[in-house]
Structure 1
Amino acid sequence: MKNLTNYFLEKKDIIFKDLNEVLPKELNSRKKIGIYCGTSVNKEYVAIFIYDSKSRFIRKNVEDLEKMFETLKTYKEHNFKKKFLLISSPLCSKAKKTLEDNKWSVDIDFM
């Protein structure tokens, strides 16, 4: 968690007042993904998804991510101002375009 807060402070200039981990099991998912909900000092709600895999992140993964994000919104009962995806695997160009169209901020090689 300390690495995550330092990363956002250095790269995105976001300081978190509150940052909590949400287990994928709480969202009825079996995916191996890190999910964090945070509140910045500017009182913006932030959703962070950390995807660590050896295989390429493809468009099907984007659909699963969007479903998980919608479940997170209903689970936490509020809308998020910003949503980030931190991945350590290669990213498909179609998946990248779909993420940009849905207003995701994507950072590759986080780990």
Structure 2
Amino acid sequence: MRQSTTTIGSSQVNILKYSQYFLNEDLKVAKTATTLNANGILPAGTIIDSTGKVVNDGTAYGIVYEDVNFNNSMGTEVVPVTIFGFVDTSKLPVSPADAAKTALNMIKFL
């Protein structure tokens, strides 16, 4: 297993409203399966499906918990995905659609 440390230029965004009430699951995401920003980063607060594809519909699986840098990736990264908790909607890059909120039934958007 290859592991490296890289500093992402900005500070991490805390998407949670209440930090002690949440559950993350690790999800393997292929670089080719997801949409990255211009810096090669999958930003915190991005809604993804179970394959890592960025969505905002009824196929939503969870919300990316922290920024994940794919720049030095060998193709797949382990992404922490929030599947339960209280999320601050104002911290998300895109407001979740009603279908996504329904699919993410264990996440309360505040």
- Normalising by structure 2, report the TM-score: 0.32
Higher relative contact order (CA 8 A, sep 6+): 2
Bigger share in helix: 1
